[in-house]
Amino acid sequence: MEGPKFQRQIEDFRCERCGAEVKGDGFTNHCPVCLWSKHVDIHPGDRAESCQGLMEPIAVERQKDSYRIKFRCQRCGVERWNRSSPQDDFEVLLEISRKQADQTR
């Protein structure tokens, strides 16, 4: 069974991890400064998830000309992949990638 289609939500927010003020564009799902997210959706953009836990960026994967980030909810443990954004701090992406490589050694 397929879930609802993506629902674009244009929302600004303050990152609950680092405190950065984030200007949303309707596709923003994580802080571009620290790359942490919040578990707010069951299906992308629906804001129907009751968990509301912070989601730690735990892995980075290159996809053609961009990257995607894997997040793990600190409250319920769910893991999800999301695209990176051109606004994301590339040094933080590299640090996540380094930690990921260290864990596989």
Q: Rounded to 5 degrees, what are φ and ψ at 67? A: -130, 160
> Domain residues of the chain, as ranges?
13-103
Q: How confident is the model at residue 49, as a pLDDT? A: 94
* Cβ pair 75, 16 in contact under 8 A: no
pLDDT at 93 over 90: yes
| pLDDT tens digits, one per residue of 20-68 | 999 999 888 999 999 999 999 998 888 899 999 999 999 999 988 899 9
pTM: 0.88
State the amino acid at position 53 in one-letter form: G
In which band, very low, low, confident or very high, does the pLDDT at 104 lie, cut at 50, 70 and 90?
confident
The larger pLDDT score, comparing residue 101 to residue 20, is at 20
